[in-house]
């Protein structure tokens, strides 16, 4: 596929926003559209809230007719629906990769991450990732192997033809935890040193002496996309679910927090020197 930053989830999210915009521009209520097209009462609401999996080409054509869309706009929503249905590599790992994060990462132009207790998943070595997963004490060896394989596949975005800019702030505490034992954490730190040499990757270490900081409430990820029509996302991971925040105010707050974290952390150059002393 020509577009190296291709995300079906981002296309589907853009399509949902576009459908809502077109309906509101025409002053139509959701109930009227559902009635005109013979749809169930909640169908259009789910579409506009992006609570769907595979957009229907027939539905797009029906909406285009009802909204009397000109040909360019008609083709736009049909194309977005078609692109939203493409299967990415992550579908093969849907049993172990939750919530479509790998999909959004594949389409991102910039990824900003703060981690307090762990090395970020995109930067983990297989040994470190396995040790982290083993620490949960609820996964079988087979499940751990599958999750590690999926995590390593996610990391291919870092070395793709047109990789995203990745900017990570990691707390010193995460680097001092002997996850998997001394050899595993030593290999992990060396891996971070190697990654920091890539032109698209910046790593900053938030040292203990920084004291209280803007990330005290926990880890987060901010994803930006190359098309202005795809607004940024904030990703939060919990023990049971993945959360995506889209509200502009929430995005601004996390962007501001990340900026404060960068100011509190060592510079990328000083961070690499610190990593070398740890290794």
Question: What pLDDT digit, counting tens, does each position of 174-212 carry?
Answer: 999 999 999 999 999 999 999 999 999 999 999 999 889
Q: Are 265 and 207 in contact (CB under 8 A)?
A: yes
d(CA 141, CA 149): 12
Question: DSSP labels for 46-64?
Answer: HHHTT--SS--HHHHHHHH
Question: Does the pLDDT value for residue 90 go beyond 80?
Answer: no
In DSSP terms, which residues pair with 115 in a beta bridge? 170
CA 61 from chain centre, in angstroms, equals: 30
Kind and range of the H or E element at 6? none
Task: Using the structure block, give the residue that is written with the tokens 């150059």.
Answer: 269
Q: Which of 108-112, 242-246, 259-263 has the lowest mean pLDDT?
A: 242-246
Sequence length of the chain is: 279
Per-residue pLDDT band for 31 (boundaries 50, 70, 90) equals very high
Question: What pLDDT digit, counting tens, does each position of 237-253 carry?
Answer: 887 778 889 899 999 99
Count helices and strands in the chain by DSSP H and E runs:
12, 6
Selection from 252, 126, 98 nearest residue 187 by Cα: 126
Percent of the chain clearing pLDDT 70 (strictly above): 96
d(CA 49, CA 61): 19
In DSSP terms, which residues pair with 204 in a beta bridge? 169
Q: Comparing 97 with 219, which gets the higher pLDDT? A: 219
d(CA 123, CA 114): 12
Q: Are 55 and 84 in contact (CB under 8 A)?
A: yes
Q: Which of 49-58, 122-131, 174-183 has the lowest mean pLDDT?
A: 49-58
Q: Are 152 and 225 in contact (CB under 8 A)?
A: no
Kind and range of the H or E element at 35? helix 30-37
């Amino acid at each position: 596929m020509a577009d190296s930053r291709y995300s079906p989830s981002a296309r589907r999210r853009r399509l949902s926003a576009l459908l809502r915009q077109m309906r509101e521009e025409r002053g139509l209520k959701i109930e009227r559209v559902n009635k005109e097209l013979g749809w169930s009462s909640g169908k259009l609401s789910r579409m506009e809230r992006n609570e769907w999996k595979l957009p229907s080409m027939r539905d797009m054509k029906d909406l285009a007719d009802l909204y009397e869309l000109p040909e360019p706009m008609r083709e736009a929503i049909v194309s977005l629906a078609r692109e939203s249905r493409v299967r990415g590599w992550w579908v093969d790992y849907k049993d172990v990769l939750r919530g479509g994060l790998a999909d959004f990462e594949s389409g991102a132009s910039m990824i900003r991450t703060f981690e307090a207790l762990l090395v970020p998943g995109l930067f983990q070595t297989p040994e470190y990732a396995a040790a982290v997963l083993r620490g949960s004490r609820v996964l079988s060896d087979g499940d751990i192997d599958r999750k590690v394989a999926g995590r390593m596949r996610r990391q291919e975005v870092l070395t793709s033809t047109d990789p995203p800019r990745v900017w990570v702030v990691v707390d010193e505490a995460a680097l001092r935890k002997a996850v998997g034992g001394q050899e595993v954490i030593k290999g992990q730190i060396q891996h971070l040193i190697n990654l920091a040499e890539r032109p698209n990757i910046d790593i900053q270490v938030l040292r203990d002496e920084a004291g209280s900081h803007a990330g005290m409430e926990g880890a987060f990820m901010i994803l930006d996309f190359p098309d202005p029509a795809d607004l940024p996302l904030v990703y939060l991971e919990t023990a049971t679910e993945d959360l995506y925040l889209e509200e502009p105010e929430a995005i601004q707050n996390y962007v501001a927090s990340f900026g404060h974290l960068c100011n509190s952390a060592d510079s990328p150059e000083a961070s690499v020197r610190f990593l070398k002393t740890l290794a």
